[in-house]
Amino acid sequence: MEDQKQTVLITGCSQGGIRHALAHEFASKGCIVVASSRSKRTMADLENDSRFFVQELDVVSDKSVENVVANVIEKSELHPFGIHVTLVAPGAIKSNIANVTAGNYSRMPELKLYKPFENIIKERAYFKEPPNATPTEIFARKTVAVLFKDKPPAWFSFGKYSTLVEIYSCMPNFVKDFLARRMMK
């Protein structure tokens, strides 16, 4: 990337997760990191660190997105060129997603629509990483190194089972559904 300070926007940057580790790795490389999550309290450790511009962002809300974009524009000078977008598809990465999901499951409302799938939802909520899952710091270091290349790829995948993730992503939905049902039995 160029010598000027780069600005990186990371969504879903809750503490203990993959994107949180990515935020720290980008910051260690001198980037201005716009760290976002649906709630600032999930990123409380970043609030007093000047390398991070912490924002509440709900990516499914147009108003929320507009507010964050306006805040970022106000905070930094934006350039109409040099923007790179990369889809990052992690393999099995050690993170706190299972703990967060389990906590959310325990607060799920009683919905009759999902009652027939309750056991499957509960099993997925308490799903743990496979043995030897890639540590978040290693994933973050490798991802940032790839994204700092002069021409970063449009797609990047890394971590245990990442090849399977890539293959799976190319499959038709009916095959994905079949495999998901088999895995949940």
Q: Are 43 and 68 in contact (CB under 8 A)?
A: no
**Average of per-residue pLDDT values in the chain:** 80
Estimate to the nearest angstrom the gap between the alpha carbon of 96 and the chain centroid.
12
With 50 as the cut, is the pLDDT of residue 79 above it? no
Burial (0-12, 13-18, 19+ Cβ within 10 Å), 134: buried
Quick one: average pLDDT of 38-55?
Answer: 92
Which one of 6-10, 41-45, 113-117 scores highest in mean pLDDT?
Answer: 41-45
Quick one: average pLDDT of 38-45?
Answer: 92
- Report helix angle 136-147 to 18-28, nearest 10: 50
**Which of 18-22, 46-50, 52-56, 108-112 shows the lowest per-residue confidence on average (mean pLDDT)?**
108-112
Distance CA 94, CA 96 (A): 7
Which one of 21-25, 72-76, 153-157 scores highest in mean pLDDT?
Answer: 21-25
With 70 as the cut, is the pLDDT of residue 59 above it? yes
User: Angle at the Cα of 96 (from 160 to 183), degrees rounded to 5?
Assistant: 55
Of 134, 142, 129, 132, the closest CA to residue 22 belongs to 142
